Chain A
Amino acid sequence: MKNYFYINFEKYWLINLRWLAVIFLLFTPFILEKIFKVHIDPTTIYIISFFILTYNFIFFIIYKKLNLNKDVLDNKNVLFDNSQIILDIICLTLLLHFYGGIENLFVFYYIFHVIISSIILEKKYAFLQMTFIVFLFIAMALGEYSGLLKHYNIPNFINLSLYADSLFVTGMIIVFSSTMFISFYMASTISEKLRKREKELYEANRLLEVKDKIKNEYVLRVSHDIKGHIAAIQNCIYPIKDKYLGDLNDDQKNLLKRANVRCEKLMQFVKMLLNLTIIKLKQEDEKEKFNPIEVIKKAIDMVLPTAKSKNITIKSDFNLDNIMIIWNKPELNLVITELLTNAIKYTPEKGKIFLETKTKNNFFYIEIKDTGIGIPEIEKKNIFNEFFRATNAKEIEPISSGLGLAMVKQIIDKNNSEIEVDSELNKGTAFIIKIKYT
C-alpha cells in the first residue's frame, strides 16, 4: 500500500546529476585559470572529485542491486536518499573550506541541496538536512574566524580577509541561515501540497476501481439470476412448442413461437452481458503461446451453419502457418466468432465474407471483411460502446444487445492488441485486428 508519495523522478536522477556535477567540478580550475586568471591548486578538487565518483558509483550499484521501489516509503529508501544528500553536503563544505571558506561564491550551491531534499524527502528529514547545512556552514565560518580551522586563501581573488571580519561573518551567517530556512520552507510546503494531491488522486482512482468492481459483480449476480429464470421459461415452452405434449392449433403455435423468439433474444442478451462482465472482472488472465490459425479455423467452423442458412460464403486465406502469439485462447475464439457472427447478421443473403491473415513489421493481422450493410460514417466512432447500435443495424435486427462489439473491444484491450474498423455504407465493413507476434 502506498503511504507516501515521492514526486516521480527518473530512476537515476540524483545519480546522473552527480556525474554531471563531477565533470563541472573537474573543469572549474581550467575555467578559473583561462577566463578569470585566478590560479588555484586543483589537487584537493581532484581528491574530492574522486571521492564523489566513488560513492556515486557505490550508490549506483546499490540502486541497481536492491531494485528500490521509489513508490514506497520504506527505511531502505529513506536511508538511501538521506545518505546521498548528506555526503553531497559534506563534499560541498569541504570544497568551500579548502578554497576560501565563506569567501567562496559557490556557497549559493547549498540551496540546491535544500531544494532537492525538500522535494524528495519527508519534511522532517528535509528540515534535518537544512539544519545540517547551516550547522556546517556556521562551524566553518566561526572555525576559520577564530583560527581553529586554517583559512585557505584564493590568491588574486579576494585580497581582503573577509573571513576574519566579524561584521561580514555575522552578516553572512544570518543571511545564509535565513536563506536556507526560507528555501526549505517554500520548497517543502509546495512539494507537500503536491504530494497530498497525488495521494488524493490515487485514492480516488482506487475507490473508482473498487466501485466499478462492485458494480460488475452486481451485474453478474443479477444477470445470472435472470438467466436461470429464462432457462426455466424456455424449458417449459420447448416441450409444448415441439409438440411433445400434443398438437397445437395455428394461433397457439403462432403466439408460442413469438414468446419463444423473445426468450431466445433475452437469453442471448443476458449471456452476452454475462460474458462481458466476466471479462471485465477477470483481472489477470491466463495467456498462452499458441498458433492463432487453428483457433480462427475453429471459429469459422462454428459459424458455418449460420452462414450456410443465409447462403453466405466465407472465404479464408491463411498465408502463414508458423506464427505464434501470446493471448488468451478462448477469448480469441470469442472475438473471431463474434465478428463473424456480426458479419453474417448484417450481410444480405448470398453475400460474401473474407477472412485474411497476414504479417507485417512484427504484427499479425486478422481481417474480417463482409459485403454487408456497412456502418454510417458518423456512427463509426460509437460502435465499440456498450449498448450502441447503428441505425441501419437496428432496421435489420430490431432486437439485439449491442454488447458484442463492446466485448470484442474489451478483450482486444486486455490482450494489448488493437482493432480498427473500415466501412462503407451499403458496401461492407472490415474489422482489422492487430496482434504482436513472437
Chain B
Amino acid sequence: MKKVLLVDDDPDFVESIRLILEKEAYQIIVANSGEEGYRKAKSQRPDLIILDVMLETIDKGFEISRRLKQDAELKKIPILMLTAIKEITGMNMNQIGGYLNDISDPNYFSNPSINAPNINNLIYYADAFYEKPIIPAEFLNKVKILLSK
C-alpha cells in the first residue's frame, strides 16, 4: 500500500482529502504543521508528500519543500504542492501556459531542469502544483501519476 503524507493545518481540507485518498486505498499520514511534516517525512518515508503552501507562515510550505529536496535521502520523494494563495505569492500558475512545473506539462519528464523552475526569481522545489479546492477525479489522477514515477 502506497504511503501518502498530507501536510496541511486546515482540518476541513485534511478531512476531505483524507477521505478520498483512503477510498483509493492509500495509507494516509497526516501532519498539521510544516515542521511536523518534515519530521514525519524523515521518520515514515512516504511515497508521496502533499504539502500545503500556507502553514505556520504564508510560505512555510516552500521552505519545507526546499529542505526536503536538499536532503539527499528524501529528495526522491515527489512533492505535490497545494495552494490557495497564488494571488498573494504572485505565482501566476495557470495564467499563461497552464501550470508551471506540472506533470501535465508534456515537457515535464523530458526536461529535468523543470523540477526547480525559476518563477519571479524564486525557486520552488516541487514536482507539481495543485490549486485548492480539490476536484477528486483530477486530483487522484495527479496523485497516481506522481506515485508511478
Q: Which residues of A contact B10 (CB under 8 A)?
A: 228, 232
Cβ of B146 < 8 Å from any Cβ of A? no
- Chain A interface SS verdict (over half): helix
CA distance A235 to B96 in the complex (A): 25
- Asked if residues A235 and B133 are in contact (CB atoms below 8 Å), the reply is yes
- Asked if residues B134 and A235 are in contact (CB atoms below 8 Å), the reply is yes
- Asked if residues B20 and A239 are in contact (CB atoms below 8 Å), the reply is yes
Interface size on B, residues (CB 8 A): 23
Q: How far is the CB of A188 from chain B (nearest CB, A)?
A: 51
CA distance A235 to B15 in the complex (A): 9
Q: How far is the CB of A382 from chain B (nearest CB, A)?
A: 27
CA distance A236 to B7 in the complex (A): 17
CA distance A329 to B85 in the complex (A): 21
CA distance A228 to B137 in the complex (A): 21
- Mark contacts of A42-74 with chain B using CB atoms, 8 A cut-off: 1 yes-contact digit, 0 otherwise: 000000000000000000000000000000000
- Mark contacts of A203-241 with chain B using CB atoms, 8 A cut-off: 1 yes-contact digit, 0 otherwise: 000000000000000000000100110111011101100
CA distance A244 to B140 in the complex (A): 11
CA distance A267 to B85 in the complex (A): 13
Q: Which residues of B contact A267 (CB under 8 A)?
A: 133
Interchain Cβ contacts within 8 Å, total number: 61
Cβ of B42 < 8 Å from any Cβ of A? no
- Mark contacts of B4-15 with chain A using CB atoms, 8 A cut-off: 1 yes-contact digit, 0 otherwise: 000000101101
**Complex partner residue of B16 from A224, A227, A236, A295, CB under 8 angstroms:** A236
Task: Report which residue of B10, B12, B96, B133 has the largest number of chain A beta carbons within 10 angstroms of its beta carbon.
Answer: B133
Cβ of B23 < 8 Å from any Cβ of A? yes
Cβ of A255 < 8 Å from any Cβ of B? no
Q: Which residues of B contact A236 (CB under 8 A)?
A: 12, 15-16
Q: How far is the CB of B59 from chain A (nearest CB, A)?
A: 14
Q: How far is the CB of B84 from chain A (nearest CB, A)?
A: 5
Q: Which residues of A contact B137 (CB under 8 A)?
A: 242
Q: Given A242-B137, A244-B20, A334-B95, do A235 and B12 touch, yes or no (CB 8 Å)?
A: yes
Cβ of B87 < 8 Å from any Cβ of A? yes
- Asked if residues B88 and A235 are in contact (CB atoms below 8 Å), the reply is no
Q: Which residues of B contact A239 (CB under 8 A)?
A: 16, 19-20, 23, 136
- Asked if residues A298 and B87 are in contact (CB atoms below 8 Å), the reply is no
**Complex partner residue of A245 from B17, B23, B95, B132, CB under 8 angstroms:** B23
Q: How far is the CB of A266 from chain B (nearest CB, A)?
A: 12
- Asked if residues B19 and A231 are in contact (CB atoms below 8 Å), the reply is no
CA distance A258 to B6 in the complex (A): 30
- Asked if residues B95 and A330 are in contact (CB atoms below 8 Å), the reply is yes
Q: Which residues of A contact B132 (CB under 8 A)?
A: 231, 235
- Asked if residues A298 and B96 are in contact (CB atoms below 8 Å), the reply is yes
Q: Given A236-B12, A238-B136, A244-B136, do A228 and B84 touch, yes or no (CB 8 Å)?
A: yes
Task: Report which residue of B17, B85, B135 has the largest number of chain A beta carbons within 10 angstroms of its beta carbon.
Answer: B135
6 contacts between A and B (CB under 8 A): A228-B10, A230-B133, A236-B15, A244-B20, A245-B23, A295-B96
